[in-house]
Structures are given as structure tokens and as C-alpha cells.
Amino acid sequence: MTATTLIAMLDMLGTFAFGLSGAMVAVRRKLDLFGILVLAVATGVAGGMIRDVLLGDTPPAALRTLTPLGIAGAAGLCVFFFGPWINRLTRPVMVLDAIGLGVFCVAGCHKALEFGLTIPGAALLGVMTAIGGGMLRDMMAAEVPRVLHEEVYAAAALAGALAYAVAVHLGVPGIIAAAGAVLLAVLLRLASVRYGWRLPRAPWG
């Protein structure tokens, strides 16, 4: 398996994971089937569309092929029919969101590097790819976006994207760099929730 193939697979996995998380939020908000599908698709493809537009790769991949839309829509249908089984996970939205976050921060960073961005720019675009879908999901569900009140969220995506960019720059094989960076971001996000890690706040706030 090549690094490009792995990244493509991660991109699909991230789309599906974010689609599931969007659909779970829709169910929690008591939306109907159409609402579930809309929130699943919006969550699944928004980050990639932001990435592609900022890179000038237009129209975005989600509009050139039905694959991303189909994957996100399939995630919505899975939640509609099999939601009770998915809901047995501990905090399912958070877990699925963490997986999507870790996968998309690396996929976004990888594409940015391919387009010639430097490490800081590629890492920043990786973060924007990772948080875009979740932000849109939360706003559509009339919730405060997690990135604004759960501090180790964008920070976890930044850690994963930077780890991938630096590892590739140092000549680490792409597959190892991608797998390690995804794992770092996911574990950092999950650990922050488990142990209540937070970034410093202004002492006078």
C-alpha cells in the first residue's frame, strides 16, 4: 500500500466518521430522515470542501464525484437504521468526532503539502480541514461549536497535522507518518476528554 492510497482511504474513513457524528447529532435533535441525511452529508464533506477551495482545487472533490456525498449519506442511513447499536459506544458523537478529526487533519495536511505549501501552512490547512465539518454540524444543530469551548480540539488536530508534516519532511515513510499522526491526534483528543485537559485561560477572565 502506498502513502497516497492510505491517505485516500483515510479521507473516506474521515468522511464516514464525521457523517456518523453529524447523523447522531441530528437524531439527538429529533430531526427526520431528510434532516439526518443533510447533517450527515454537511458534516462529512464540509472540511474537504474548505480545503479544496483554499487550495484552488475547484470545483471541490465532493462536487466532482459522488463518492464523498455517497459515503456521508451512507453514514446517515446507518445511523437511521442502526443508531441504537452505535449509541452503545461511550459518548458516540465525541468518539466519532475524534476519529474524523485525526483522519482529516492528516488528509488535509497531505494534500496541502502536495500543492507545495510549507509545513506551517500545510498544518494550518490540515486543522481547518479537520474542524470544518464539526463546526458546520454544531452550528446547523444550534450548538456552540466544540472548537470554541473544548480546548484540546483544534490543538489535537494541529498536533497531528504538524507531526505528519514534520515526519514527511524528515523522510519518514508516508504510511508510518500518516498512521502515527492520526493516532496521535485521536488519542490526544480522547485523553483530553477522559482526563479533563484544558489549555490555560486568562487569569483575569
What CA–CA distances, in Å, run from 7 to 19, 32, 79, 115, 143?
Answer: 18, 33, 25, 15, 31
pTM of this prediction? 0.90
Using an 8 Å Cβ cutoff, are 73 and 45 in contact?
Answer: no
User: Which helix or strand (DSSP H or E) is residue 197 part of?
Assistant: none
Q: If the chain, 205 residues long, is cut into consecutive pieces of 10 residues, what is the mean pLDDT of each piece? A: 78 91 93 96 95 94 91 95 81 85 94 95 96 93 82 91 97 93 95 84 74
